[in-house]
């Protein structure tokens, strides 16, 4: 289904003007009672229709015996009945023209085979009827603007609505509840809140796409455990990026224990975390580690206080705190550049004699109480071409809150003003609230402020990059039923037909002949490798002989390898005799079809480092040579490739073009499941050579 259509279907739910609650209860603490109680208290603007065949009135509202008995248009039916009644309720609702369903009931795929069967029937209804279904086993949704609370979340028990521009989509009801409570309680405000539960129809991708398009939403928070439709998710992420809406995502399951638990608790196996991270990086999702971190980053975006680049000017009332800020900034990949002569000159005129005009600027506690000098200092730094943004550190000093707020507002209003973030340690809550209310982001300590800035700046820089080659990837082939891994010789034969990467010069000595005829043509120095489908990883078993300098040595090695094959009783196709190419740089390259995310390239440093301290980059296909070159240059060992301490460098762009050609071929040849080249080397003569390669293909 197209995202556009999913968006319209979900919109019918989120913007519902009329809501029925099936399984409605008089008890405001029950699942079927809470939504009614919340909406009554908070003033939902649409129509509410409790449905309960046993009561004529519920919580003061007229109740109906069934959805079909309402007799008026119903945009959304909230379903809070027992699990075994849900299918019947939905079928009846579809027949009655209900616009969509929010199924709060649990007891579906998360609970054994009987539940899974119930859920499959819901999936069918959604597919056949075209109505949207949120859930089952979800915590529902909230629309702050219309005061719609299609949810039984306890987060609405004590909170009032605070309208805002921050929206949230979650695969966990509990985390969503914590977010809702925090966003309302902190005053940051909420636009839309959507929990997807078991995702029998509407999934996080659809919800993300909806929020990317929603005019009230400026910042999107997300909690995700597993992505089922990565192509839809990719398109939705890029839609948000195109609108410059940050997507701040918590992804659970980084650790082994966590991944195992995630699998057990959502009924979906969490993808390998590093692949998720690469996916987030490539498609511009900002990963955060906690709700607190999410709110911190959101605060910066909501206040339009994200600097354009990583260069920070620091102004501090405490020298020590200024140093700690600079420390944390560099730790997070930000910069604290020195000021040029003009800035130093301007600062020298505003700062007291004992303050040096150096970044970080220590204005001392005194200057803050001298408002004109303080303003001049802030002006001088805000105008500095050396920096992209300003961080101001205050400690205690509660009395200066208003003076400070006024100065910062002035600063923002004037041209040339840079985004300013305030760290106010020991600031009283009412003081911090007052500044925040004026749109100034305030943090209570240094690390959280700087980490949030670093994350936000990184995302802004992602937006400034040219858009990835293609948002769309091809429809993935159905999972392979049977696959076969080709021996090195056949893998390399196939590899040569794909283009991009060369293989070393070689001769092949077939087992059948065992003649030494071919050996006269063997390139020297050579390596000889036994070719047996039962010995794919040859080196450890002695199936590789290196450094053969003469034809006699080659012949002897070939003979020994055949003997090894006989001794081990291996099916042997022959011996591959290859040139030993001279090279400086050893890489590994993998291409595979990830079960969740589709075609994936992995490239990195080879040699012992592969397992010792992996230095790899990943990219989802399609990707062009420039994208691959950027990834090669992002490796920790990139300085080696550039030429390092007397070692020759390589042409990284040429290497990237070779890899890109192979990756494109891989995309076009759906029968290839996986290619692993280890090592991939750049020979001294510039050839990009697969010294060893294994390819896995679909069997007929």
Count of residues that interact with its own copies, criterion CB under 8 A: 85
Contact 219, 286 (CB under 8 A): no
Site string for its own copies, 322-341 (x = CB under 8 A): xxxxxxxxxx----xxx---
- Residues in CB range of 538: below 8 A, 6 or more apart: 488, 529, 530, 544
Spatial neighbors of 498 by CB under 8 A, at least 6 apart, are 662, 665, 666, 669
C-beta of 107 vs 417, nearer to its own copies: 107
User: Nearest Cα to 212, choosing from 260, 249, 180, 244?
Assistant: 244
Which of 3/144 has CB closer to its own copies?
Answer: 144
CA distance 94 to 101: 9
430 belongs to the binding site for its own copies (CB under 8 A): no
Q: Could you tell me which stretch among 95-103, 234-242, 258-266, 407-415 binds its own copies (CB under 8 A)? A: 258-266
Please tell me whether residue 611 binds its own copies under the rule CB under 8 A.
Answer: yes
Site for its own copies in 509-548 (CB under 8 A): 539-540
| 655-674 residues near its own copies, rule: CB under 8 A | none
Partners of 150 in the β-ladder: 141
Q: Are 504 and 689 within 8 A, CB to CB? A: yes
The two tokens of residue 126 are: 């959604």
**Residue 268 interacting with its own copies (CB under 8 A):** no
Nearer to its own copies, 286 or 591 (CB): 286
User: Could you give the 3-state DSSP secondary structure of residue 208?
Assistant: helix
What is the enclosing helix (H) or strand (E) of 486? strand 483-486
Closer Cβ to its own copies, 267 or 627, answer by number: 267
Which of 54, 482, 645, 668 is close enough to bind its own copies by CB under 8 A?
645
Nearer to its own copies, 47 or 261 (CB): 261
CA separation (Å) from 71 to 64, 148, 495, 500, 645? 10, 21, 66, 66, 81
Single out the segment in contact with its own copies by CB under 8 A; choices: 129-137, 139-147, 228-236, 246-254: 246-254
Q: Which of residues 51-80 bind its own copies (CB under 8 A)?
A: none
Closer Cβ to its own copies, 224 or 303, answer by number:
224
Region near its own copies per CB under 8 A, out of 32-40, 351-359, 585-593, 671-679: 351-359
Nearest to 452 by CA among 277, 248, 169, 167: 248
Q: Which stretch binds its own copies (CB under 8 A): 124-132, 191-199, 409-417, 632-640?
A: 632-640
Identity of the residue, 132 or 324, whose beta carbon is nearer to its own copies in the bound complex: 324
- The answer to the question of residue 283 lying near its own copies (CB under 8 A) is no
Stretch that binds its own copies, among 45-53, 252-260, 475-483, 585-593 (CB under 8 A): 252-260
List the interface residues with its own copies, window 398-427 (CB under 8 A): 398, 425-426
Half-sphere exposure of 311 (CA within 13 A, CB side): 12
Residues 188-227 that bind its own copies (CB under 8 A): 223, 225
> According to CB under 8 A, which residues from 78 to 117 bind its own copies?
111
From 660, 641, 657, select the one nearest 649 (Cα to Cα).
641
Q: Is 356 a residue that touches its own copies (CB under 8 A)?
A: yes
- Determine contact, residues 315/381, Cβ cutoff 8 Å: yes
**Region of 284 on the Ramachandran plot (φ > 0 left; ψ -120 to 50 alpha; else beta):** left
From the list 481, 512, 612, 700, which residue makes contact with its own copies (rule: CB under 8 A)?
612
Q: CA-to-CA distance for 643 and 651, rounded, in angstroms?
A: 10
Does 291 bind its own copies (CB under 8 A)? Our answer is yes
Check residue 154 for interaction with its own copies (CB under 8 A): yes
* 646 scored as a contact of its own copies (CB under 8 A): yes
Residue 264 as a binder of its own copies (CB under 8 A): the answer is yes
Token code pair at residue 447: 């690390």
């Amino acid at each position: 289904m197209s995202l556009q259509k999913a968006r319209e279907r979900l919109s019918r739910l989120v913007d519902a003007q009329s809501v029925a609650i099936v399984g409605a209860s008089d008890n405001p603490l029950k699942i079927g009672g809470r939504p009614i109680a919340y909406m009554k208290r908070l003033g939902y603007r649409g129509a509410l229709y409790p449905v309960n065949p046993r009561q004529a009135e519920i919580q003061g509202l007229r109740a109906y015996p069934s959805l079909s008995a309402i007799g008026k248009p119903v945009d959304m039916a909230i379903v809070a009945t027992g699990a075994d009644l849900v299918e019947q309720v939905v079928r009846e609702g579809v027949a009655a023209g209900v616009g969509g369903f929010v199924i709060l009931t649990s007891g579906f795929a998360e609970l054994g085979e009987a539940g899974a069967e119930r859920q499959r029937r819901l999936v069918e209804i959604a597919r056949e009827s075209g109505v949207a279904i949120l859930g089952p086993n979800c915590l529902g949704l909230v629309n702050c603007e219309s005061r719609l609370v299609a949810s039984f979340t306890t987060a609405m028990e004590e909170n009032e609505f605070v309208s805002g521009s921050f929206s949230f989509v979650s695969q966990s009801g509990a985390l969503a509840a914590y977010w809702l409570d925090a966003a309302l309680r902190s005053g940051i405000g909420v636009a839309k809140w959507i929990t997807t539960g078991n995702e029998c129809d509407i999934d996080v991708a659809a919800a993300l796409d909806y929020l990317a398009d929603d005019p009230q939403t400026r910042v999107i928070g997300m909690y995700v455990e597993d992505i089922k439709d990565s192509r839809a998710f990719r398109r939705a992420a890029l839609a948000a990026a195109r609108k410059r809406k940050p997507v701040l995502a918590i992804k659970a399951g980084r650790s082994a224990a966590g991944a195992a638990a995630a699998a057990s608790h959502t009924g979906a196996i969490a993808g390998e975390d590093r692949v998720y991270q690469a996916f987030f990086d490539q498609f511009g999702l900002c990963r955060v580690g906690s709700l607190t971190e999410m709110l911190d980053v959101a605060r910066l975006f909501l206040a339009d206080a994200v600097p354009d680049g990583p260069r920070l000017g620091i102004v501090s009332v405490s020298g020590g705190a200024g140093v700690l800020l600079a420390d944390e900034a560099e730790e997070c990949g930000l910069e604290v550049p020195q000021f040029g002569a003009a800035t130093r000159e301007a600062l020298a005129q505003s700062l007291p004699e004992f303050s040096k005009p150096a970044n970080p600027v220590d204005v001392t506690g005194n200057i803050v109480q001298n408002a004109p000098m303080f303003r001049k200092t802030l002006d001088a730094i805000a105008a500095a071409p050396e920096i992209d943004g300003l961080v101001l550190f205050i400690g205690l000093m509660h009395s200066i809150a208003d003076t400070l707020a006024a100065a910062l507002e002035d600063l923002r209003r004037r041209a040339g003003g840079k985004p300013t973030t305030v760290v106010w340690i020991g600031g009283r809550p009412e003081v911090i609230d007052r500044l925040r209310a004026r749109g100034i982001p305030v943090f209570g300590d240094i690390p959280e402020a700087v980490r949030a800035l670093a994350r936000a700046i990184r995302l802004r820089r992602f937006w400034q990059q040219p858009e990835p080659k293609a948002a769309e990837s091809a429809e993935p082939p159905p999972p392979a039923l049977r696959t076969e891994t080709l021996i090195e010789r056949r893998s390399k034969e196939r590899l040569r037909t794909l283009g991009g990467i060369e293989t070393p010069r070689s001769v092949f000595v077939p087992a059948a002949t065992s003649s030494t005829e071919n050996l006269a043509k063997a390139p020297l120095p050579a390596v000889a490798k036994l070719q047996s489908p039962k010995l794919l990883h040859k080196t450890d078993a002695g199936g590789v002989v290196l450094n053969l300098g003469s034809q006699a040595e080659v012949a002897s090695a070939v003979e020994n390898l055949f003997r090894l094959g006989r001794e081990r009783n291996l099916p042997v196709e022959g011996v591959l005799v290859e040139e030993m190419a001279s090279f400086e740089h050893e890489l590994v390259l993998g291409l595979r079809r990830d079960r969740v995310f589709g075609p994936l390239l992995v490239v990195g440093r080879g040699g012992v480092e592969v397992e010792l301290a992996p230095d790899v980059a990943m990219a989802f296909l399609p990707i062009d040579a420039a994208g691959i070159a950027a990834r090669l240059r992002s490796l920790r060992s990139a300085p080696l490739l550039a030429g390092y301490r007397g070692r020759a460098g390589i042409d990284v762009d040429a290497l990237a073009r070779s890899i890109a050609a192979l990756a494109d071929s891989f995309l076009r040849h759906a029968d290839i499941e996986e290619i692993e080249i280890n090592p991939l080397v750049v020979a001294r003569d510039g050839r990009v050579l697969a010294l060893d390669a294994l390819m896995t293909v679909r069997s007929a």
